[in-house]
């Protein structure tokens, strides 16, 4: 792709919304939230029932052709986003629209922030700005450092970019230049991997982040969001987007990118001494040799610890059978799990190679209470076949039926999985979907539905909401010292817990909070 619709600046600011009554009796509420696209400021308008591009554009004092939509204007749907250029035009409430050439570094003016929020902003941020920007983070753990091994450099924590605002950059492929060819409102599960589905994932992440920003605005926090639409995966495309849109001039970077682009952007972030958040990758290598990376998916050590603690607490006399295949993908999980089990006095376990497990069923039948922990990981097709075979074997045991634990959630990974089998096996896993019995989950889902008229995906919309809340509140409360010890109380409105630690001073941080869930009555409940 040759052109970059790239830099978007979202200034969280309260203003007076205006109403315009259009021909046909449809009222259009004029928003005060704006973004920057290629150095020009745009209003963000969320479509409501009965509104047309004509009515919306006229409400903002513009011609219909000047509006930018994410799909064909003839198929505009409730919840779609329309971008409308700010040109100093007169608004329905009598005010003048912002000019189109505001700079990324500029903080919102005092008139743009609420009185109460401005007080909170001034008090909280001045304290945060005095955080020890010149200091280096302390080393939290050396457990994985071999004797005599030379450690790499620590992360150097720099001062805040703007003492009056928290500046966050978001790099991700929004596919803005292709929005007239794809739909982000509906998708078919068979579209997984295609651009229609991929765009849905990224748009959902962006929309979830917007809801998190709304919560921060209500807290009185002043956030500047610089969104960069990365329209390529090559190193050159990523570096051009990073440098041309001044991503280095941020307090934090959230990189919702696939493997190769993230590797490049993490290198650039390290050069700039900029901390970078990876939202959804499970790969441990992203934190190696780069102390500026935050990995938000729970670490294998956290999952191993939660698994062993649950087994020891509820089934202390059970024998544990750990099923693996010897693949490279299982190596770290197997090492973490065996290390945790070795720490528990008297815990009995056996490692079972699946290729040599012909007698597994008879062995389990002749055992007392048994727990099966599955770490098997080859490829998608083999994993699916294996999962069904294992479930059938375990379900055939009618007396002292084993308990089944997995590090990844089979119930969401495999659409045709037999839930009755999982239920009968007292299935335990690290569930990643919505729990509607949970007040926080339910409130987020209902808000997302109301705002965007579609169903949220927890791994994208929910994670984005959590990341922006946790990191902005951390910087607000602790200043740049947050990057030395990135642990704060969970902000209100978060869905899943985050807490970060690292094994060595020259490695990045991993999420050390892993919540194990148990299937009961065909629903998942957190294991306390």
Query: From CA 340, how far away is CA 513, in angstroms rounded?
Result: 16
- The answer to whether residues 489 and 521 belong to one domain is no
**Residue 460 φ then ψ, to 5°:** -115, -65
- The answer to whether residues 169 and 42 belong to one domain is no
Name the DSSP class of 152: -
Q: How much is the pLDDT for 193?
A: 46
Cross-strand pairs, 163: none
Does residue 127 belong to any structural domain of this protein? no
> Tokens 């969280």 label which residue?
12
Domain final position from 78, 112, 146: 112
CATH code at 314? 3.40.50.2300
Does residue 136 belong to any structural domain of this protein? no
- The answer to whether residues 168 and 264 belong to one domain is yes
**Ramachandran sector of residue 414 (left: φ over 0; alpha: ψ -120 to 50; beta: rest):** beta
Q: How much is the pLDDT for 20?
A: 57
Q: How much is the pLDDT for 111?
A: 30
Q: How much is the pLDDT for 151?
A: 66
DSSP readout, 295-330?
EEEEPHHHHHHHHHHHHHHH-TT-EEEEEE---GGG
| Full residue range of the structural domain in which residue 57 is found | 8-112
- The answer to whether residues 103 and 234 belong to one domain is no
Q: How much is the pLDDT for 256?
A: 95
- The answer to whether residues 329 and 398 belong to one domain is yes
- The answer to whether residues 182 and 75 belong to one domain is no
Does residue 3 belong to any structural domain of this protein? no
Burial (CB count within 10 angstroms: exposed 0-12, middle 13-18, buried 19+), residue 216: buried
Does residue 133 belong to any structural domain of this protein? no
Query: From CA 390, how far away is CA 395, in angstroms rounded?
Result: 8
- The answer to whether residues 285 and 190 belong to one domain is yes
- The answer to whether residues 101 and 211 belong to one domain is no
Query: From CA 265, how far away is CA 255, in angstroms rounded?
Result: 8
- The answer to whether residues 293 and 323 belong to one domain is no
Per-residue pLDDT reduced to its tens digit, 243-296: 999 999 999 999 999 999 999 999 999 999 999 999 999 898 999 989 999 999
Q: How much is the pLDDT for 96?
A: 67
Query: From CA 523, how far away is CA 215, in angstroms rounded?
Result: 29
Does residue 284 belong to any structural domain of this protein? yes
**Residue 454 φ then ψ, to 5°:** -155, 170
The answer for residues whose C-beta is within 8 angstroms of residue 363's C-beta and 6 or more apart is: 321
For residue 256 the two structure tokens come to 């919702």
Domain final position from 55, 90, 112: 112
Does residue 141 belong to any structural domain of this protein? no
Does residue 139 belong to any structural domain of this protein? no
Q: How much is the pLDDT for 117?
A: 30
273 touches 292 (CB < 8 A): yes
- The answer to whether residues 283 and 179 belong to one domain is yes
For residue 200 the two structure tokens come to 């849905």
Task: Work out how many domains the chain is built from and give that number.
Answer: 3
Q: How much is the pLDDT for 237?
A: 93
* Strand pairing report for 166-172 and 252-255: parallel
- The answer to whether residues 194 and 277 belong to one domain is yes
For residue 466 the two structure tokens come to 């959590």
Query: From CA 266, how far away is CA 515, in angstroms rounded?
Result: 28
- The answer to whether residues 223 and 266 belong to one domain is yes
Which parts of the chain register pLDDT below 70?
Answer: 1-26, 37-39, 70-76, 88-151, 175-198
Does residue 224 belong to any structural domain of this protein? yes
């Amino acid at each position: 792709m040759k052109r970059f619709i790239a830099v978007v600046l979202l200034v969280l600011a309260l203003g007076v919304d205006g109403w315009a009554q259009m021909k046909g009796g449809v009222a259009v509420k004029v928003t005060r939230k704006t973004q920057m696209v290629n150095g020009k400021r745009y209003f963000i308008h969320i479509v409501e029932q009965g509104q047309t591009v004509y009515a919306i554009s006229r409400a903002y004092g513009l011609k219909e052709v000047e509006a930018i939509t994410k799909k064909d204007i003839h198929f505009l749907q409730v919840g779609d986003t329309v971008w409308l250029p700010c040109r100093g035009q007169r608004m329905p409430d009598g005010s003048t629209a912002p000019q189109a050439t505001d700079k990324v570094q500029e903080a919102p003016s005092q008139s743009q922030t609420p009185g109460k929020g401005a007080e909170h902003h001034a008090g909280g941020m001045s304290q945060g700005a005095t955080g020890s920007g010149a200091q280096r983070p302390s080393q939290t753990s050396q457990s994985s450092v071999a004797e005599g091994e030379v450690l790499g450099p620590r992360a150097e924590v720099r001062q805040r970019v703007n003492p009056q605002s928290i500046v966050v950059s978001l790099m991700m492929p929004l596919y803005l230049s292709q929005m007239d060819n794809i739909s982000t409102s509906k998708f078919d599960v068979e579209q997984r991997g295609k651009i229609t589905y991929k765009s849905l994932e990224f748009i959902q992440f962006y929309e979830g982040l917007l809801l998190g920003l709304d919560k921060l605005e209500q807290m009185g926090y002043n956030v500047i969001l610089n969104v960069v639409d990365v329209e390529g995966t090559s190193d050159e495309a990523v570096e051009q987007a990073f440098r041309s849109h001044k991503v280095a001039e941020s307090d934090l970077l959230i990189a919702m990118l696939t493997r190769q682009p993230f590797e490049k952007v993490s290198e650039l972030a390290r050069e700039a001494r900029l901390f970078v958040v990876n939202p959804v990758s499970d790969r441990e290598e992203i934190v190696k040799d780069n102390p500026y990376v935050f990995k938000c998916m729970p670490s294998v050590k956290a999952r191993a610890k939660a698994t062993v603690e649950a087994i020891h607490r509820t089934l202390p006399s059970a024998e544990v059978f750990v099923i693996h295949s010897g693949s490279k993908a299982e190596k770290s999980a197997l090492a973490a799990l065996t290390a945790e089990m070795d720490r528990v006095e008297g815990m009995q376990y056996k490692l079972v190679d699946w290729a040599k497990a012909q007698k597994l069923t008879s062995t389990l039948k002749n055992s007392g209470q048994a727990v099966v922990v599955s770490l098997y990981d080859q490829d998608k097709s083999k994993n699916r076949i294996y999962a069904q075979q294992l479930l059938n074997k375990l379900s055939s045991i009618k007396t002292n039926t084993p308990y089944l634990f997995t590090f990844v959630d089979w119930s969401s990974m495999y659409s045709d999985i037999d839930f009755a089998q999982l239920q009968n096996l007292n299935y335990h896993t690290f569930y990643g979907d919505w729990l509607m019995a949970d007040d926080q989950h339910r409130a987020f889902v209902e808000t997302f539905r109301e705002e965007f008229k579609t169903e949220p995906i927890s791994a994208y919309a929910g994670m984005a909401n959590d990341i922006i809340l946790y990191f902005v509140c951390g910087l607000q409360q602790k200043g740049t010292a947050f990057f030395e010890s990135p642990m704060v109380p969970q902000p209100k409105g978060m869905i899943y817990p985050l807490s970060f630690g690292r094994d060595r001073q020259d490695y990045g941080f991993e999420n050390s909070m892993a919540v194990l869930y148990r299937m009961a009555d065909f629903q998942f409940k957190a294991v306390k």
